[in-house]
Amino acid sequence: MIPQHFRRTLDLHAGDKVALSLEGDRLVLRRYNATRARIVKGHSGRRVLEAPADAPPMTVQTVKALLSEFP
């Protein structure tokens, strides 16, 4: 259960989806955004992953953490 203070601040209601992410040693809760990352053609002509504007920053630590969980 999310404490009332946080629900009010984020304007969350029963049934609303949230997204959790790790940023360093912090657990971050955000309102869920259905916008997803997508693959687009970059400036060099190569395909690149474009993240939504509200995506957390992709740091070296985040990539290492994600790769450590990958089989």
Q: Residue 36 corresponds to which tokens in the numbers above? A: 């997803």
Angle at CA of residue 5, ends 51 and 18, nearest 5°? 30
Domain ranges of the chain: 4-57
pLDDT number for residue 40: 85
pLDDT in tens, 14-59: 888 888 888 889 998 888 766 667 788 888 999 888 887 777 788 8
pTM equals 0.41
Beta bridge partners of 48: 40
Say if residue 6's pLDDT is above 70: yes
pLDDT number for residue 34: 63
Average pLDDT over residues 51-70: 81
| DSSP single-letter state for residue 11 | T
pLDDT number for residue 46: 92
Supply the DSSP string of 29-47, one letter for each residue. EEE------EEEE-TTSSE
- Report the alpha-carbon distance of residue 32 to residue 34 in Å, rounded: 6
